[in-house]
Amino acid sequence: MSGFAIQLDNVEFSWPSGTRVLEVRQFSVEPRERVFLHGPSGSGKSTLLGIVGGILKPQVGQVRVLDASLTSLTAAQRDRFRGEQIGFIFQMFNLIPYLTVTENVLLPLGFSNGRAQRLESADASAEAARLLQALGLSDPGIAKRRVTDLSVGQQQRVAAARALIGRPPIVIADEPTSSLDADMRTDFLRLLMNECATHGTTLLFVSHDMALAGMFDRTVRIRDINPALPHPPEHS
């Protein structure tokens, strides 16, 4: 056991085209730590999150998440691991448009037994309702709404509830507040942090907006851990 929630050692990642986009000597996150990862777009953020999430496999180096060595797992094992241990929140368009709010929140449970088993109450939709309420969506009618009828701010709260359901030990958020206005941003972040703190969830939060950094335990500049690339060509 390394004792870290996330630990990267001498990781190098290149796209199949050969362009190297990421080179991380050392990066680690403690359990329960809430880390703000700062970097402009195109700095290799998404690649880093893809590696931590087990979607991308670095060509060189070691990646440990919780007690698993992602670099020695197969793709299918990494997928299973991600489903069980990590909740994701993206910048926007987080939700499946044809499912209701509750169905969206419950989505991870269908793919991961571990998360389904970690539910406190036997009733999954009650837990979904609790999370939605904790994240500021207290209107009971909202559960049955179509997600396309929600405002962007509401959609991000639903996405956060989905990331948190079934208590994954790690939540990774990729610019979840960029599409929100300033008031909503802090409001959203405060509720997310509360929920993470209550359950001891490790939070890796990526943003280009330094104004939010103060709310976190620690701030890491991606430039500092990824020295390789001045302007790496990223896909997005």
Is residue 236 a contact residue for another protein (CB under 8 A)? yes
**Stretch 166-185: interaction string toward another protein, x if CB under 8 A:** --------x-----------
The residues in 52-81 that bind another protein, with binding defined as CB under 8 A, are: 53, 55-56, 75-76, 79-80
Q: Which residue type sits at 200?
A: G
The residues in 87-106 that bind another protein, with binding defined as CB under 8 A, are: 88, 90-99, 103
Is residue 119 a contact residue for another protein (CB under 8 A)? no
Would you say 26 or 93 has its CB closer to another protein?
Answer: 93
3-state secondary structure of 81: helix
Give, to the nearest 10 degrees, the angle between helix 101-111 and helix 152-164. Answer: 30
Q: What share of the chain is helix, strand, coil (3-state, %, to 5)?
A: 40, 20, 35
Is residue 129 a contact residue for another protein (CB under 8 A)? no
Is residue 107 a contact residue for another protein (CB under 8 A)? yes
DSSP 200: T
Label each residue of 221-236 as H, E or C.
EHHHHCCCCCCCCCCC
Beta-carbon count within 10 A of 72 CB: 11
Give the residues lining the site for another protein (CB under 8 A). Answer: 46, 49-50, 53, 55-56, 75-76, 79-80, 82-84, 88, 90-99, 103, 107-108, 110-112, 115, 162, 174, 235-236
